[in-house]
Chains A and B, each alone.
Chain A
Amino acid sequence: MPEPFRAAAGAPDNPDQMLGARQREALLESQVERAFGRKVWSVTPGFRVDALGPEGPEHWRCRALIAATGTTERVVPFPGWTLPGVIGLGAATVLLKSQMVLPGSRTLVAGCGPLLVAVAVGVLKAGGSVAAVLDLSGPGDWLKSVPAMTAQPGLLLQGLRWLGAIRAAGVPVLSRRTIREVRPKGERLEVIVRPVDGERRPIPTGVETVFEADCVAVGHGLVPAIEVTRLLQARHEFLPQRGGWIAHRDALCRTTVEGLFAVGDSAGISGAAAAYLEGRIAGLTAALDLGRIDAERHRELSTPIAGRLRKAARFGAAMARLMALRPGQVEGVDGDTVVCRCEDVTRAEIEAALDRGACHVNQLKSWTRCGMGPCQGRMCGETAASLVAARVGGREHAGLWTARAPIRPIDLEALYGDLAYEDIPIPQEAPL
């Protein structure tokens, strides 16, 4: 068990934390009603938002609804990805930032995108060691992003400083590498690593290397969390460079459903800086649409933000491209590797269903139970859809899991509370 560590007490020490602190303060001083510690499990047209909280079920009604639901992490499966100690880069970030706990004493960091560097540095700062950083991308991919990154020189510099710190700690940073397999070795994990080509396909003749660690933090990019906009039946489009399926929006973050806005990574991966600015634009536009401010005031307040947003979005888009899924990644998944870890469905079982004629992700779901478990397809969805897409001519044809409530599993006891039979409103009985 790794020793928990505490962040140094005192003032926030980086730009992210300082921005966060300022926003929290502004929120406390505002008239915004706050309901934290709630799990939203349903949104329905109109709008009605249902949540479970400390007092049991509650709901709110509103005229405008802003979905700011962030992302889900994508992990393309490999043998051993379900072992204890193998976690997502996102999970490692939460452990480090929110829980202030090291994910392991020796962590191997693998996958793609900016989280690689952030997690490796986080582990080092917290006093852990990093076995290696394995990047699916090549140096050329990062170089292509540099022009866009100059739009946010602060973040670019931070990234370079972090990269320097990783190298200074003597951590191997390997480009175009992926995990072939993780297997238990005593109390630790043995990680077999192999090279990939520019399309992220494993190179069969490539030389394998082996690392040891007690935690593997691996992530293959971020996928917009579109549950809310899907449940409300906004129009969505498939844009792989922005993370996958996202709600179609106008320049002011309006979706195709009147009153429904989507902002931040949940509307297309664009990073924290852009999310903050999109949130402000959506808020102002909701106020405009509900008649609380006029068009002139809206323009006055939103125009300066729009300029900053363009820069921030350029940076975010470059990061999103690094994290976009390439077909080669899914092609390399072995037949006996579990794709749906909730229901234990392997790639071979998925391929068998496709052989039998399944031609849509929902048909695959019915036939194999892939995506039917507690995570409701959030973890296997990308891989499963890519496998269907390879047969039917693309992700648009493979389709999307039908949107279903609850957005997250709901605890029946919390819903039940303390009630008498007469409190259950029973509709008219069925005909005899």
Chain B
Amino acid sequence: MTAVGPSSREAYDAAIVGAGVMGCATALHLAGGGMRCILVDRGAVCGEASGANAGTLTMHMTRAALIPYALKGWELWTTAAEWLDGDLVVQATDGLSLAFTEAEAQMLRTRAEARRDAGAPIQIVDPVRAREIEPGLSERVILAAHCPVDGFVGANLTGLAFRNALVRDGVEIRQDSPVDGIDRDGATFLLRSGDEEIRARRVVLAGGVWLEAMLAWFGLHLPIKCLVNQLAITERMKPILKTVVGVASGLLSLKQFANGTVLIGGGWQGIGDPERGGATIIPDNLIGNLRLARYAIPSLSGARVVRAWLGLEAETADAMPVIGPVPGVDDAFVIGSVHSGYTSGPFMGQLLAELILGKEPALPLFDPSRLVVAKP
């Protein structure tokens, strides 16, 4: 075996397994705190969900309890030019959530109130006001929720921007290097990857839907559900949308990028799992999602959809994040399963790094031990 370290004997201060937004942000903040880090991924930087998600920076779809985190994340994304390094396209806009039926209007009021209580500046507006904010809206809207803190990122460039920043800050990156398991040699972790062995004093598991398998390296069973979200994009069209548009149920997310393409999502499910990745779309779900989009924004009638794809999203048993120390394993940490995780990811990474660096995290973490169950 080839030992990999700053020198062959010396261990890294931290090895981060999983180069999505969570892992990248944690690594950047640890490096900023003076630690020598290595970031390892079986694929590319932000090559999975972090590069394939809708890039929405919305409060309308964020779980109420996570609103304070998402607001911080929004601030970090909209100032990405200051801390990332790439041509990341970040757009701050208004966000609207729509109701077409009385039942949806009721849902909209309840949800807007819960999120407002958590700190999101959401107001209920009538259809006339909603159409002032977004002239492209359907005449059939009966009520809308408006949030001036919304926006989106072109997720496809996330990996490039993080990669450049990681290189700039001295984080070593190992792409295409699956970790097979982790052993311990006294106080040092030994990460086995092919015929390489990476030595580190701390380890951070940031593996998205693959977290369940990673935690099993330490003999822990923490069930992670895998959502398979479908997304679709149109070819370039003339400007038809200024804002991020969703619906009360959360099952629509629409935005138009500066290049004219319109991204259509909302969590309609495809087929896949951690082993195969996103295997296939469910055609009826794509048709339903596209019809809902066309219903909300009639000028989508001229659109042609050129591509649909799948991104895997992790969800714990209580649908809340898992961020903190790995129970029973000193110097091992875990981060992931955050609803609307792309939005709050940069902030979540900062919080975990604060804990690892021995500081008081700015907001409470999410103790993993509540989710560990006995092995089946």
Q: Which residues of A contact B (CB under 8 A)?
A: 42, 44-45, 48, 50, 57, 59, 231, 233, 356-357, 359-360, 362-363, 365-367, 369, 372-374, 376, 402, 404-406, 409-413, 415-416, 419, 421, 423-427, 429-432
Contact = CB atoms under 8 A, between A and B. Distances in A.
Contact of B163 (A45, A357, A412): A357
Given A416-B301, A426-B251, 16 more contacts: A44-B280, A45-B280, A59-B283, A231-B280, A366-B156, A404-B307, A412-B293, A412-B302, A415-B290, A416-B291, A421-B140, A426-B292, A430-B267, A431-B63, A432-B63, A432-B111
B300 to A, nearest CB: 6
9 contacts: A45-B271, A366-B51, A366-B160, A369-B156, A373-B236, A404-B308, A412-B303, A427-B268, A427-B285
Contacts of B305: 406, 409-410, 412
A376 B306 contact: yes
B286 A405 contact: yes
Contacts of B281: 42, 44, 405
Q: Is the interface of A mostly helix, strand, loop or mixed?
A: loop
B352 to A, nearest CB: 23
A399 B64 CA distance: 42
Contacts of A423: 291
A410 B101 CA distance: 29
B184 interface: no
Nearest to A233: B279
Nearest first, the 3 closest Cβ-Cβ pairs linking A and B are A430-B250, A429-B249, A409-B304
Contacts of A372: 156, 307
A431 B235 contact: no
Contact of A427 (B61, B64, B269, B294): B269
Contact of B306 (A50, A406, A432): A406
B235 A374 contact: yes
Contacts of A415: 287, 290-291, 294
A423 B100 CA distance: 13
A42 B63 CA distance: 34
Nearest to B176: A359
B371 interface: no
A280 to B, nearest CB: 30
Given A357-B163, A366-B159, A406-B308, A424 B288 contact: yes
Interface of B: 44, 47, 51, 61, 63-64, 100-101, 107, 110-111, 114, 140, 156-157, 159-160, 163-164, 175-176, 234-236, 248-251, 267-269, 271, 279-288, 290-295, 300-309, 319, 339
Contacts of A409: 235, 304-306
Nearest to A363: B44
A426 B288 contact: yes
Given A44-B283, A415-B290, A430-B249, A373 B234 contact: no
A376 B280 contact: no
Most buried by B among A42, A366, A404: A366
A421 B306 contact: no
Contacts of B292: 424, 426
Given A44-B281, A233-B279, A426-B251, A412 B304 contact: yes
Contacts of A45: 271, 279-280
Contacts of A426: 249, 251, 288, 292
A141 B307 CA distance: 40
A412 B63 contact: no
A348 to B, nearest CB: 16
Contacts of A421: 100-101, 140, 295
A410 B176 CA distance: 34
Contacts of A233: 279
Contacts of B285: 427
Nearest to A417: B291
Nearest to B277: A402
B306 A427 contact: no
Nearest to A50: B283
Contacts of B63: 431-432
Contacts of A48: 283
A356 B309 contact: no
Contacts of B114: 432
A359 B43 CA distance: 11
Nearest to A369: B156
A220 B301 CA distance: 37
Contacts of A432: 63-64, 110-111, 114
B339 A416 contact: no
